[in-house]
Amino acid sequence: MHGRPFIDGLSAWGEPTQLRGPGVLSDPLLNKGTAFTTQERDALGLRGLLPPRVFTLEEQVQRSLTAVRSKQDVIEKYIYLTSLQNRNEVLFYRLVIDHIEELVPIIYTPTVGEACLHYGSIYRRPRGLFISLNERGRIAEILRLWPHGGVRLIVVTDGERILGLGDLGALGMGIPVGKLSLYTACAGVHPYYTLPITLDVGTDNALLQTGPAYIGIRERRLRGAAYDDFIAEFVSGVKSVFPKALLQWEDFGNTNAFRLLRNYRHRLPSFNDDIQGTAAVALAGVIGALRLTGSTLARQRLLFLGAGEAGTGIADLYVAAARAEGLGEAEARRHCWFVDSKGLVVQGRGEPLAEHKLPYAHEHPFIESLAEAVKVLKPTALIGVSGMPATFTREIVAAMAALNERPIIFALSNPTSKAECTADQAYSWSGGRAIFASGSPFPPVEFEGRRFLPGQGNNIYIFPGVGLGVLVSEAREITEQMFLAAANTLAGLVQPEDLAVGRVYPPLSNIREVSLRIAAAVAAAAHDAGLAARARPPNLVEDIRGRMFEPVYREYA
């Protein structure tokens, strides 16, 4: 296993001499399965515990790929890959990296959404920590039960807003498990340092509470001061047990997400991927689109469908970027408009607005529908983050095309079933002129003799690189400037051949190089701001490249 450990002197895979026989085979970081050589089998007491033929890693990859492809159902593919990850992590990550465009949609979006819905039925083996209300008062003790010391990267959810699927409670564990798999596959963060956590604070999903396969506590979701106390104990435990850990908040409901980010972002290195990661990937897509339109950020008018974490996060980062182009903050905010479930977000609409919407509640007559808002506001970009499928109708897309020579249409809601429109609809309804991106992948589209490759505006392009950059610099805080650096770096990696087929993101096959470059930009921002605990190396890119986990087998004898 290549890749220097982030913590000097700490073995990232344990010492094989401490385990023998079944103990070696049961540790996914040590197990090589049929790839153990005859010498290793003798040295580690594995004779007779494995079939006699010795396979190479490449042969194991091909055999595993054949097995995945033989499964007819995506959940069966997901279960197979999860099982492989739980028994042999090197083989799992070698397989995923070598076939990343094919397998990422299975281990993460869109399949992970369906996997979460069935998580109680497909649960096989513990992976990560479930910390429930039953553990109040002893959370630090529970964290110390994790077998790997020196955890550096935690993804945590309370399961309230899983993708566009809503409150799934403890079933949301599929999200932190999947995200951390992407950290390793896409950015080379060694799996030894990662820890997925689900905070089980109950669920308001009545079907889950009474369901026979539900694996969480059967209580209504904790709210108010008691919830905040539980989170405070959790954060305190993380700081005590894993003092160098980065904490990523994932899929928390709007009522908690903004407050938690605000309360804790300065207390430990932490960020909310739904707010900040989505913002960076969407902004990068807009910047890439402007290379096709020939315009500038300062001349855009963005209309969002959905005014939650993702939408206002994108708007906030757009404002920061537009200010760098010379706009004042108030003026930049006037370039962002929101339609939520009640209509256009404006001042004096008649009901109290959530705090995160207030900066974008402009003085304007109320408009009830998205279609009317498009006609009146004349946006250059339409960005869907609503979780409401089929809401970008033919009428709306055609109106955007009438207003703009190259309308920007981003249907970013996940999973695929929640997308505001499909790639085929965006291209056909706009006469092939739309610049389209989506949160989940869509296949290529043929339209009037042209072949379009829809870009996937998925956070996979951002959070792995951001996390890697924070880890290698040991940044004490994760700032807006780091996400702005990530967005600009991602946009700069889009090549002319990508733009020629309508893609405003690099191909997913380049994701490890993308993550490396973003990590270097984030680390540079940390060093420039005086937030890095590590000394700045002479060459950030090469230093980080040398620390990235590469899934190859270690020789034990």
Catalytic residues: 108, 179
Structure tokens of 513?
Answer: 């190089």
Looking at the DSSP bridge assignments, the partners of residue 550 are 2
Region class of 495: left (phi > 0), else alpha (psi between -120 and 50), else beta? beta
Phi/psi at 248 (5° precision): -105, 115
Q: Contact 273/250 with Cβ under 8 angstroms? A: yes
Phi/psi at 352 (5° precision): -60, 135
DSSP 127: -
Looking at the DSSP bridge assignments, the partners of residue 196 are 155
Tokens 């994701």 locate to: 511
**Of all helices (H) and strands (E), which one includes residue 23?**
helix 22-25
Looking at the DSSP bridge assignments, the partners of residue 456 are 438
398 vs 522: CA distance, rounded Å: 39
> b or e along 213-251 (b: 16 or more beta carbons within 10 Å of the residue's beta carbon)?
ebbbbebebbeeeebeebbebbbebbbebbebbbbbbbb
Structure tokens of 165?
Answer: 């699927």
* DSSP per-residue letters across 343-383: EE-BTT-SSPPPGGGGGG-BSS-----HHHHHHHH--SEEE
DSSP 29: T
Structure tokens of 270?
Answer: 């932490």
Q: How many CB atoms lie within 10 A of CB 132?
A: 17
> b or e along 9-28 (b: 16 or more beta carbons within 10 Å of the residue's beta carbon)?
eeebbeebeebeeeebbebb
Region class of 87: left (phi > 0), else alpha (psi between -120 and 50), else beta? alpha
